[in-house]
Structure 1
Amino acid sequence: MKKSRILGIAVGATLAMGMSASALATDGYQLIGIGQYAMGMAGAVVAAPDDPLSAAISNPAGMAFLTPQAAFSAEIFNPIRKANLGAGEIGSHSNVYGIPAIGWVAPAFAKNWVFGGGIYGTSGMGVNYLQNLGASGYAQGFSSISFMQMAPSLAWKVNHRLAVGVTLNVAAEQVSFQQTMTQYFPTGMSAPYPTSVPVQGGLNLSTPNWSYGVGATLGVLYKVNDMVTLGATYKSPMIFTPVTWQAGIQDLGPGAVGGSGQYSAHLNYPQQVALGLAIRPIPQWLISVEGQWINWRDTMNTFNIYGPWQGMSDYALPMHWKNEWVANIGTQYTVNNWLQVRAGYTHGTNPIGNENISNNLILPAIMTNAVTVGSTQKLGMGWKLTEAYMHSFAVTNTGQPGTAFLAPGNPNVSPSTTMSENSYGLQLGYDF
């Protein structure tokens, strides 16, 4: 096979694999909730925030109704990913990630004002696929994102029914990916010299720097009466500085070759709106429902990589995500003075359509349904312990026949990606 043919396939590999920011729980690559109270409620906390983490991240107005407290959460996230690149199904070799979070709330500078916030991070996310093609070579798809956010928040209790709040979202991210195909070619040399040499084509941007972004969350909480509470939030887009890579030659075939040097791109975080309703039929029983809109289309439509390309300023990776609608419902029951139990369900529309599966094979943001359970035990002297478990049901998305980059044009082969998830979390809180 000629080198130009190999590099042409590498171009197909690049287009097929797309750009990955990994996938967490149901909402694209966004967690359904931060902290184990929010996770146990399936993210339905905009109208029912109950600790610093769920308030600062989901609705900062809720902090105005909280007593001074702090919380630390540790979560083990276990996504199971598989993909068919056109030569059989393979699994990802990265399946376990740690997610820490810490939050607090305390009185501020004046009566009815409180200051709080949260710091949380998700690290080492992504996929790592290696498709062995035998004596001819191999294809590799790797992606990783580290995302950390600080969320200082201020809330004002206008009266005993109404509160408003604002969070400044300050974040840092680090993105790396490799989308290559390696082919072995005979050297024409006799033993004991090597009989083949590897020739690689594709994108290899695996040495990133940190990128920094900022945005804001506005929230309002209104207690209609002792039974009904309404909540609403708006999160602005989080605009980041460019992600940069120092990289070698990028060889995607004729017309798409870049020299060694610095490459850069923007990966912003989407704006979103959430509305919630919390009802207490009896004092010890809480039911919370929430609807959410996430504007993925503005941030995950195409990924333009700028750098020393020959004859062009940038190379565009098409992802074509759609906006996502999410519905959450959670319920909590206070059994006695020391025990609360909760459960929830969340459903999100898939931001990646089947027509774009071949563009997102290493971006498996396809979860649609998840269930959660959790509980809190009040240990005395202000301490409390909260646990949660989440399971997202397996989803398989299949692309158009003939679009698999390892079997281009073959009508009997379709690219596909499969994903399921589990999450286990523990949170320790203290009321001052």
Structure 2
Amino acid sequence: MQYQPRLLASLVALGSLASPAAHATNGYFFHGYGIKAQGQAGVSIAQPQDALAAANNPAGTAWIGDRLDVGATLFAPDRSAEIEGNGAGANGHYNGNAKNTFVIPEFGVSKQLNDKLGVGLAVYGNGGMNTDYRSNPYAAFGSKNSVGVDFTQVFITPSVAYKFTERQSFGIGLNVVYQRFAAKGLSAFANPMFSSDSAHLNDHGHDSSTGVGIRLGWQGQLTDDLTLGLTWASKIKAAKFDRYAGLFASGGSFDVPENYGAGLSYKLTPRLTLGADVQEIKYGHVRSVGNDFDVQSLFAGNRFGAKDGPGFGWRDITVYKFGASYALLPELTLRGGYSHAEQPIPGSQTFLNILAPGVIQDHASLGLTWSPSASSELNLAYTHGFKKTVDGNGSIPQAFGGGEANLKMSQDILGVGYAWKF
């Protein structure tokens, strides 16, 4: 199977056009890649089920055969913020849902070259964030018009996997990332007092960025019923957002954080399979995401856009996922799952995160696969991200009038996919 550069460019363009704004579930990473994985809260590291397997663990590419998967996810987040106790006049409730429904496409194809070697290509939305506040929470500090950000992260992952024993495989995937970002309504911060490049902080439309990293994976069937999986993805040093060099740390840098995980799958009965994943996402190791918004450091010279300038103050998180699938009939499989993530945003960092309130911690999912024939599948998944509020704790500096910024978000996610098996 050959992947031509023109084809890859077309797939990137398709992904970016079909999802002009993005999502946030476990931080700003999506909760599951592939409609089947979505239906069990993202459990997938030791359960390759479709041609999106390489997005979760490239070792799974050796086990899924010849198939083509096409899907789309309708994502509906509800995000808002409240400011209270502010002496500058910013108090109020702010709704960030000027746009609140988004479509996220996905595509995967796999080919078994022989009884040991498989290759594949997966295209999917890895992560992102969107907010749009018609009433600007930063207006009291000098910002004008509506405020928000639009961030989309599309991955293209070609993969190859090799079965080095009858029950074990190793896989490698190339993570090619395309990122798209825009910010508006932040003119209060677009001055030399706050930014190292105040001309490139706000209202410059969409800018794009690309980068390349790797994902490695292992899968091993320890017994007839128990399978384990391990996966690791490198940090991706992406090209800088030049139009926003005065906003993001290190002159517009916005890298993709390192992440890794482990999973197990256990066939409790011939029909019932249980699974669990643990995932670690290193948000705190990306300066533009992990640097704190610290006003003392800001006034000491670490302005927006500087190496140690303000970020969103996100912390590393661990995500715990649990899922089950049940073959009710030969042509019908039912799924369900639940996941819990640590909170990436501490109460002290809520002020800037009005723009990026990725506070959801708990998801519950349901899904099904119906096979009208031996060569085709219809896949459905629904996920609810339970409402979560993070209250500010010393979040608004006294230089901005003090008080607290409180963040709130919930989500509904509906995925539909169809697969052809060859």
Cross-structure match for 2:383: 390
C-alpha displacement of 1:246 = 8.0
Structure having the higher Rg: 1
Say which of 75, 100, 109 aligns to 1:104. Answer: 109
Write out the 4+ residue segments of structure 1 that deviate beyond 3 Å after TM superposition.
121-125, 136-140, 200-203, 310-315, 404-407
CA contact (8 A) 1:130 1:138 kept: no
Letter in 2 for 1:161: R
How far did residue 72 of structure 1 move? 0.5
Residue 10 of structure 1 is matched in structure 2 by none
Alignment match of 2:348 (pick from 351, 355, 361): 355
**Residues 27-426 of structure 1: matches in 2 within 5 Å?**
27-53=26-52, 55-85=53-83, 86-92=90-96, 93-108=98-113, 111-121=115-125, 125-131=129-135, 138=144, 140-180=146-186, 203-245=201-243, 264-299=251-286, 300-302=289-291, 314-315=305-306, 316-400=309-393, 403=396, 408-409=401-402, 413-426=403-416
Q: Which has the higher contact order (CA 8 A, sep 6+)?
A: 1
Shift in alpha-carbon separation, 1:402–1:314, aligned structure 2, 3 A: closer
Give the drift of 1:146. Answer: 2.4
Structure 1 residue 407, shift from structure 2 partner: 6.6
CA contact (8 A) 1:332 1:341 kept: yes
Q: What is the deviation of 1:281? A: 1.1
Give the TM-score taking structure 2 as reference length. 0.81
The residue type paired with residue 373 of structure 2 is G
AA aligned to 1:302 is N
Instruction: Name the structure 1 match of 2:194.
Output: none
With normalisation by structure 1, the TM-score equals 0.79
Distance 1:204 1:335, change over 3 A: same
1:400 Cα deviation (Å)? 2.6
Partner of 1:24: 24
1: CA distance, partners of 2:22 / 2:31:
14
Alpha-carbon spacing, 1:56–1:319, altered in 2? closer, same or farther (3 Å)? same
SS at match of 1:270: coil
Unaligned ranges ≥5, structure 1 = 1-20, 183-199, 253-262, 305-309
Write the letter of the residue equivalent to 1:91.
N
The structural deviation recorded for 1:123 is 9.2
The one-letter amino acid paired with 1:32 is H
Provide the rounded CA distance (Å) in 1 between the counterparts of 2:379 and 2:22: 27
Mapped partners of 1:235, 1:355: distance in 2: 29
Which letter does structure 2 place at the counterpart of 1:81? R
Distance in 1, matches of 2:77 and 2:235, equals 26
Q: Return the alpha-carbon distance in structure 1 between the equivalents of residues 71 and 129 of structure 2.
A: 18
**Larger strand fraction of residues:** 1
* Superposition RMSD in Å: 2.9
Residue 177 of structure 1: CA displacement? 0.9
Q: Gaps (5+ residues) in structure 2?
A: 1-20, 84-89, 189-197, 294-300
User: Structure 1 residues 351, 156: CA separation in 2 closer, same or farther (over 3 Å shift)?
Assistant: same
